[in-house]
């Protein structure tokens, strides 16, 4: 991709700030302008330090830890005193895995399908009967990973470290900015839900998975590009693809 691949693109980014710097840099490098207006905020839970301590103790006893978001991994790394070398660590995607690897944690993560389904397809998670699997996440969200691991015979628990809450000022600002943008990037169905039904069904939208794309269609979006994952490179590649298609058409 060249430096003018996204020339003329005015992108709106609406997820919380964590992890967006790479995305912004890559958009700029390809000629896009962007506005970052989070419509939700992330709040670390008061119980997070105790929960991370319990997590590391369980890992010392042979538990599996599955980190399902970059934010969860970041908080855990910040709070942990020491990570057991013998632990089995997994991440839902490479962006989340990068946080753990930066803390010298050996982690397994899917490279192609960087989703819950891709994580569950890892060979190391096919035989987990009798193992304790801990989902490290925020409050709420999908429970597919836990349900599937339980079906495979694992004892599943959750280590919830943060909560999401609406940012009313950010939401109002994003709604005002949407008419001036010609590309929207949304990393989750929850973010799209916060915006409500599509104000402009023809506004090009980039999402990280088919599941989010399905929700986008329900909200009225008609031009949706599905990235291979939620990491910056994949989201930018999908943005470039839909932008080329629009310019050609």
Q: For the segment 125-182, what is each residue's pLDDT rounded down to a tens digit?
A: 999 999 999 999 999 877 889 999 999 999 999 999 999 888 999 999 999 999 999 9
Q: What's the burial of 138, exposed, middle or buried (CB within 10 Å: 0-12/13-18/19+)?
A: buried
| Listed residues 133, 163, 193: the one ending a domain | 163
Same domain, 25 and 82: no
Residue-level pLDDT at 123: 95
Number of domains in the chain: 2
- In three-state secondary structure terms, 1 is coil
One-character DSSP codes across 213-243 = HHHHHHTT---EEE-SSSSHHHHHHHHHHHH
The model's pLDDT over 78-133, given as tens digits with 9 standing for 90+, comes to 999 899 987 899 999 888 999 999 999 999 999 888 888 899 999 999 999 999 99
Cβ atoms of residues 80 and 54 within 8 Å: no
Q: Provide the domain limits for residue 96.
A: 44-163
Cβ atoms of residues 92 and 114 within 8 Å: yes
Instruction: List the CATH number of the domain containing 192.
Output: 3.40.50.10090
The pTM (predicted TM-score) of the whole model is 0.83
Q: Nearest-CA neighbor of 116 among 241, 36, 39, 212?
A: 212
Cβ atoms of residues 197 and 220 within 8 Å: yes
Same domain, 109 and 175: no
């Amino acid at each position: 991709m060249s430096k003018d691949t996204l020339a003329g693109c005015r992108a709106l980014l609406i997820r919380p700030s964590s992890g967006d710097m790479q995305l912004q840099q890559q958009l700029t490098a390809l000629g896009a302008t962007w506005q970052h207006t989070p419509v939700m905020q992330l709040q670390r839970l008061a119980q997070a330090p105790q929960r991370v301590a319990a997590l590391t103790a369980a890992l010392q006893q042979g538990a599996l830890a599955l980190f399902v978001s970059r934010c969860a991994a970041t908080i855990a790394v910040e709070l942990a005193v020491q990570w057991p070398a013998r632990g089995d660590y997994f991440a839902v995607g490479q962006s989340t895995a990068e946080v753990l690897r930066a803390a010298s944690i050996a982690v397994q993560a899917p490279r192609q399908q960087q989703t819950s389904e891709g994580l569950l397809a890892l060979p190391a998670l096919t035989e987990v009967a009798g193992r304790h699997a801990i989902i490290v996440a925020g409050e709420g969200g999908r429970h597919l990973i836990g349900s599937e691991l339980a079906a495979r015979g694992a004892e599943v628990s959750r280590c919830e470290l943060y909560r999401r809450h609406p940012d009313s000022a950010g939401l109002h600002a994003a709604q005002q900015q949407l008419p001036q943008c010609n590309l929207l990037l949304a990393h989750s169905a929850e973010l799209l839900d916060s915006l409500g039904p599509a104000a402009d069904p023809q506004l090009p939208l980039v999402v990280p998975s088919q599941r989010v794309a399905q929700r986008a269609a329900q909200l009225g979006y008609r031009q949706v590009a599905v990235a291979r994952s939620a990491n910056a490179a994949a989201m930018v590649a999908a943005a470039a693809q839909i932008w080329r298609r629009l310019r050609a058409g």
